[in-house]
Amino acid sequence: MKSALLVIDMQKGFLSPVSPLFIAGAPATVSACAHVIARCRAAGVPVFFVTRRYRADGSDVELARRERWRAGGKPLTPGCAEEISEAMPACFGSGAGDYHIRKPRYSAFFSTELDLVLRRLGVDHVILAGTTTPNCIRTSCYDALSLDYRVTVLRDCTSSATEEIQEANLADMARAGAAVVSSEELELEE
> Which residues in 66-105 contact its own copies (CB under 8 A)?
105
Size of the chain, expressed as the number of residues it contains: 190
Q: How far is the CB of 114 from its own copies (least distance, A)?
A: 14
Using CB under 8 A as the binding rule, whether residue 115 contacts its own copies is answered as no
Q: Which residues have a Cβ under 8 Å from the Cβ of 115 and sit 6 or more positions away?
A: 109, 147
Using CB under 8 A as the binding rule, whether residue 139 contacts its own copies is answered as yes
Binding its own copies by CB under 8 A: which of 81, 101, 145, 181?
145
Using CB under 8 A as the binding rule, whether residue 172 contacts its own copies is answered as yes
Q: At what angle do helices 163-175 and 138-146 cross, to 10 degrees?
A: 10
Q: How far is the CB of 63 from its own copies (least distance, A)?
A: 6
Report d(CA 15, CA 32) in Å as an integer: 14
Using CB under 8 A as the binding rule, whether residue 169 contacts its own copies is answered as yes
- Residue 103 CB neighbour total at 10 angstroms: 21
Binding its own copies by CB under 8 A: which of 24, 81, 165, 188?
165
Using CB under 8 A as the binding rule, whether residue 59 contacts its own copies is answered as no
Is there a contact between 125 and 149 (Cβ–Cβ < 8 Å)?
A: yes
Binding its own copies by CB under 8 A: which of 77, 135, 152, 158?
135
Is there a contact between 161 and 24 (Cβ–Cβ < 8 Å)?
A: yes
- Residue 43 CB neighbour total at 10 angstroms: 12
Is there a contact between 2 and 127 (Cβ–Cβ < 8 Å)?
A: no
Using CB under 8 A as the binding rule, whether residue 58 contacts its own copies is answered as no
* C-alpha pair distances (Å), 97 with each of 31, 46, 74, 94, 125: 21, 7, 31, 9, 18
Using CB under 8 A as the binding rule, whether residue 24 contacts its own copies is answered as no
Instruction: Select the span of 32-40, 41-49, 93-101, 139-147 touching its own copies (CB under 8 A).
Output: 139-147
Question: With CB under 8 A, what is the number of residues at the site for its own copies?
Answer: 29
Is there a contact between 41 and 47 (Cβ–Cβ < 8 Å)?
A: yes
| Residues found near its own copies in the complex (CB under 8 A) | 62-65, 105-107, 110-111, 134-135, 138-139, 142-143, 145-146, 148, 150, 161, 164-165, 168-169, 171-172, 175-177
